[in-house]
Chains A and B, each alone.
Chain A
């Protein structure tokens, strides 16, 4: 196991800057998720850590060693690819043994290590099969088996679950997490799925447009997003963001550009009519006959465990999520209260949280 330090790492493809100076300090044995929308540079960063992409600037350290110019094979890193990248002409056992064979490990030891990894991943009955004879989940497990037989310093996962169906994804998510709990190997996990990041990682790195937007523990990032991008990216259904202005007076309120008036119990210091963006997560809205906001329901999506409501209030669209079953149907009107302690404010120009 080893720590991984990413110091001011940059990557340019010609004139295009894909990664623009990233600092991340990953502790020994930590599970870190790199999350962000497509094209944010997260996969490129992972490939640079793996040694599959040259670094245009900065430094990557695995343990104490700077690996900028170290070949992938000498980095002591294992990687699980999005499409598994299993060798189609080798059996499951051969796939898992390949790295040990290249290293010149003796045959009895190879067999013992493959057997052990196969047991951990319940692959023992499949050792003689070829990748084409396996299901998606089994292939995924073989890819992980190939990574763990080597007992590497660091595991890299590049969107490993995105080729699986929803049910299998949840199952494999748990398996990866369990594997991590067992091995406690430093893990860097790239995903565009914020649920995966939230549920699996010790810390999340939210990336956007080649920079790090925020690094933090999952709930810290969820509850205290540094900026509007992080607030909008993390959380599903997405946070409600209303541009508007603060009105000071007897009682502080926020008036959205769409005309919705939201009472506040605190407001950032500043002059009357100061502009800003108010953010409230859908589950921080409650139904209250005395509530200050009236919503005209347009869409209801009951999922059994919760109910999602989309509606209009004045000229704003608002998303609400209720843990209880609510008997609302399109066309109904309902009064809502926004939990004042959960309201977030962002600067309109910079997007930073106020």
Chain B
């Protein structure tokens, strides 16, 4: 009995240690975000005063001159949402069409193309940096929402296609045939039959694509010059040549997570159902 309690206590201790190990940086960072702007945290310490000044400063650019960063991340939040939104629309629309073709088509060429799509996804993104930079520049799309969205769509489309194909594979072909006989055109079959039945899959794909675009840093930093900076760029911007605004950086980081928490809280149940539906039909 005693041994059993000791056993359980040690398990609990291990679990706590694991949680602490993972969460400690977050906790520390969270405390930094609640510290007065300008306070430089040298080591972990509980601040004397907890304040939301860093949040206000990051959000409204209202910090004191000299010790605070004087810019607001609001435009960057908007930029991030615009870019991620465009990416989600592009990936789901294109991905849905492509996934349908890959799912229903019967040809070797399609198989090769589908596998090629996945292989391309495995190449390190950095190897694409130069060609993409040149292309986006050549079409005058650098520092635009559209330019960055196009790149994000390219990066996420294979995942979207792969996910959606799994869902569409699970929809019996007979439903389409029944609809064709009922008088539907191919587009009507997609609109009235496939899309509603693949909706959980579309939601799952949209979530992943949104997340990927929202946190993407490398291409966002290469392609923007200020006016289309997304949140990750703005957060990184607190670290300038002259000074690092740790408190605002922390506050902005935590604020950037809020939409994701909200999003996944509401989408979570739907997504889990969607993921399992795709797996077992």
Interface hub of B172, B177, B196 (most chain A Cβ within 10 A): B177
For A146, what are the chain B residues with a Cβ–Cβ distance below 8 Å? 178, 182
Number of A-B contacts (CB under 8 A): 57
Q: How far is the CA of A217 from the CA of B180 in the complex (A)?
A: 33
Q: Quick check: B172 and A83 within 8 Å, CB to CB?
A: yes
For B183, what are the chain A residues with a Cβ–Cβ distance below 8 Å? 73, 99, 102-103
Q: Quick check: B181 and A77 within 8 Å, CB to CB?
A: yes
Cβ of A52 within 8 Å of any chain B Cβ, yes or no, is yes
Cβ of B241 within 8 Å of any chain A Cβ, yes or no, is no
Q: Quick check: A85 and B188 within 8 Å, CB to CB?
A: no
Q: Quick check: B182 and A102 within 8 Å, CB to CB?
A: yes
Cβ of A296 within 8 Å of any chain B Cβ, yes or no, is no
Q: Quick check: A79 and B181 within 8 Å, CB to CB?
A: yes
Cβ of A63 within 8 Å of any chain B Cβ, yes or no, is no
Q: Quick check: B188 and A102 within 8 Å, CB to CB?
A: yes
For A102, what are the chain B residues with a Cβ–Cβ distance below 8 Å? 182-184, 188
Q: Which of A73, A77, A85 contacts B184 (CB 8 A)?
A: A73
Return the CB mask of B132-166 against A: 1 if under 8 Å, else 0.
Answer: 00000000000000000000000000000000000
Q: How far is the CA of A79 from the CA of B183 in the complex (A)?
A: 12
Cβ of B193 within 8 Å of any chain A Cβ, yes or no, is yes
Cβ of B50 within 8 Å of any chain A Cβ, yes or no, is no
For A99, what are the chain B residues with a Cβ–Cβ distance below 8 Å? 182-183
Residue of B nearest to A77 (CB): B181
Residue of A nearest to B178 (CB): A85
Interface residues of B in 173-199 (CB under 8 A from A): 174-175, 177-185, 188, 192-193, 196-197
Residue of A nearest to B171 (CB): A88
Q: Quick check: A87 and B175 within 8 Å, CB to CB?
A: yes
A83 to chain B, nearest CB (A): 6
Q: Which of B174, B181, B184, B196 contacts A83 (CB 8 A)?
A: B174
Cβ of A308 within 8 Å of any chain B Cβ, yes or no, is no
B75 to chain A, nearest CB (A): 41
Q: Quick check: B185 and A85 within 8 Å, CB to CB?
A: no
For B192, what are the chain A residues with a Cβ–Cβ distance below 8 Å? 87, 98
- Size of the B side of the interface (Cβ < 8 Å), in residues, is 17
Residue of B nearest to A78 (CB): B181
For A103, what are the chain B residues with a Cβ–Cβ distance below 8 Å? 183
Q: Quick check: A73 and B197 within 8 Å, CB to CB?
A: no
Residue of A nearest to B188 (CB): A102
Interface residues of A in 51-105 (CB under 8 A from B): 51-52, 71-73, 75, 77-79, 81-83, 85-89, 98-99, 102-103
Q: Quick check: A72 and B181 within 8 Å, CB to CB?
A: yes
The answer to whether A81 and B177 touch (CB under 8 A), given A98-B192, A102-B188, is yes
B278 to chain A, nearest CB (A): 15
Q: How far is the CA of A43 from the CA of B221 in the complex (A)?
A: 59
For B196, what are the chain A residues with a Cβ–Cβ distance below 8 Å? 89
Cβ of A190 within 8 Å of any chain B Cβ, yes or no, is no
Interface hub of B180, B182, B193 (most chain A Cβ within 10 A): B182
Q: Quick check: A89 and B197 within 8 Å, CB to CB?
A: yes
For B174, what are the chain A residues with a Cβ–Cβ distance below 8 Å? 81-83, 85
Interface residues of B in 76-98 (CB under 8 A from A): none
For B185, what are the chain A residues with a Cβ–Cβ distance below 8 Å? 73
**14 additional contacts, CB 8 Å, given A85-B175, A87-B179, A98-B179?**
A50-B177, A52-B181, A71-B180, A73-B180, A73-B181, A75-B181, A79-B178, A81-B174, A83-B172, A85-B172, A89-B197, A98-B182, A102-B183, A146-B182
A-B residue pairs in contact (CB < 8 Å), sample of 20? A51-B181, A52-B181, A71-B180, A73-B180, A73-B182, A73-B183, A77-B181, A79-B177, A81-B174, A83-B172, A83-B174, A85-B172, A85-B175, A86-B178, A87-B193, A89-B196, A98-B179, A98-B192, A99-B182, A102-B184
